[in-house]
Amino acid sequence: MKAFYLPVEILSRELDSKLALTYYLLEEGYTVVVGQQWAILNNLDNLPPGVILFKGYHGIFSKGIKRALEFGFSVFALEEENLGFADKSTLLQILEPSANAGIKFFANGRFEAKVLAENNFSVFSTGNPRADLLKGAYSHVFSQEILKVREKFGNFILINSNFATVNSTWGPIEKIIEIQERAGAIRKDDPASKERFFSIVESENKNRQVLQKLLIRLANSDTPQIVVRPHPMENIEPWEELISTCSIAGKVRVVREGSHIPWTLAATLLLHTACTTGLEAAVAGIPAINVSREDYFNKHYVSSLINPQLESVEQLLAVLHIKDQENLTQELKKTYYSDDKLASEYLENFPSNVFAAPSMANSMLAASRATPEFYPEIQGLRSTPRHPIQKNKFTISPRDFLERFLLVSRLNKIIRLNFKVLDDSLFQLTRL
């Protein structure tokens, strides 16, 4: 048998798309190891070589990619941290030519594929399974969650924040710099890497101020209920403190439960600061507005270009009486700046009738022919102690994992499985 390894960092954001990919790999009769990334990366020298998919190709993954190559793995990377790049120079900045030599890339769309190919990287333009989950064939995955959200909140505005650097669960900026340096994302021999980091810090701080002021203004106006969902790696306490000190607790709720997707699909309107969820909302047909005024984010990410741009709170308040989402979307296009040509070009990367998961699976299966066969069972893995924050990122029981897999793969035929727990929140699946 041959193994495919799908390490996952954040359960709520990544697991469902990895499970969609898992199904198509299992259909070919191969073994799939999926779950928390730390156990997999800590045991690369102890696992049978197979095909492994990294969730990104920027500096923080370079050490893991290098070790996987050293131990005979066939390595793929899909840049999930930035689902839609809009700027060629930014994409090239995060590439590590030395670390990425010998790996294969999955591109989120044609733009990314073109840039990678022009720079002599091996690339497959497959799209991203995260976009698959926004399409009709997977509507059952979130239907019950959407219903529960709407029953609880009715007509609501969703605010997604993305300040995981300046408001991190890991602590102050000094701690983040230490983590980035240890991972190789900030290098002392590369001043540009540190400059990029502090550009993000500056932009996040400015966007945070904009979003907080907007939240208070909306909460004190005649608007629907407001739900704030911080980034999975954000500290939730500052948001709760803001709401309590500004006496807007009755109008605003801060939530973190589950995946962000059902909340996006249940919302009447999404507000964000150049967040990837703005792109996902556009794919799903949910009205969304980018409220960022920061050039760094607005220049580099697709979500800041394809969503209407906030010009004033007054303009926003003027359209919030529109309850129908299609009419609201049309009104936003008339009221705000929006580059329809650019939007259509990027959204072509997510056609409704083409799915990324089976395309990625086919590429990974083809690559598996270059890896050696192995027959012994995976066993004897080293225990991998995890920080409480890492456990919060990804912890799931075997029962909940199986139930989620069966839910995500329900659109396909039933398959019989051999299921094995390899470590805490790490599982092996083989089709019988």
Provide the pLDDT for residue 290.
Answer: 87
The pairing of beta strand 269-272 with beta strand 288-290: parallel
Answer yes or no: is pLDDT of 347 > 50.
yes
Where are the domain boundaries for CATH 3.40.50 in the chain?
Answer: 3-132+352-431, 140-347
Provide the pLDDT for residue 337.
Answer: 47
- Of the candidates 426, 325, 415, the one whose C-alpha atom is nearest the C-alpha of residue 23 is 415
Answer yes or no: is pLDDT of 134 > 50.
yes
CB-based burial of residue 23 (10 Å sphere; 0-12 exposed, 13-18 middle, 19+ buried)?
A: buried
DSSP-derived secondary structure for 293-354 = --HHHHHHBTHHHHSPBP--HHHHHHHTT---HHHHHHHHHHHSB--HHHHHHHHTTS-TT-
Rounded mean pLDDT, 9-30? 91
Please determine, looking at this structure, whether the domain spanning 140-347 carries the CATH number 3.30.70. no
The pTM of the full predicted model, rounded to 2 decimals, is 0.86
Answer yes or no: is pLDDT of 419 > 50.
yes
State which H helix or E strand residue 147 sits in: helix 139-153
Q: Which residue has the higher pLDDT, 120 or 101?
A: 120
Answer yes or no: is pLDDT of 429 > 90.
yes
The pairing of beta strand 426-431 with beta strand 417-423: antiparallel
Answer yes or no: is pLDDT of 101 > 90.
no
- Of the candidates 383, 370, 420, the one whose C-alpha atom is nearest the C-alpha of residue 122 is 370
Q: What are phi and psi of 172, to 5 degrees?
A: -70, 170
Rounded mean pLDDT, 126-136? 86
- 104-114 pLDDT per residue, tens: 999 888 888 88
Q: What is the DSSP letter of 261?
A: H
Q: How far apart are CA 107 and CA 223, in angstroms?
A: 39
Q: Which residue has the higher pLDDT, 295 or 172?
A: 172
Please determine, looking at this structure, whether the domain spanning 3-132+352-431 carries the CATH number 2.40.50. no
Percent of the chain with pLDDT over 90: 34
**For 127-194, where are the E strands, in sequence order?**
156-160
Provide the pLDDT for residue 254.
Answer: 92
> How are strands ordered across the β-sheet holding 288-290?
252-254, 225-229, 156-160, 269-272, 288-290
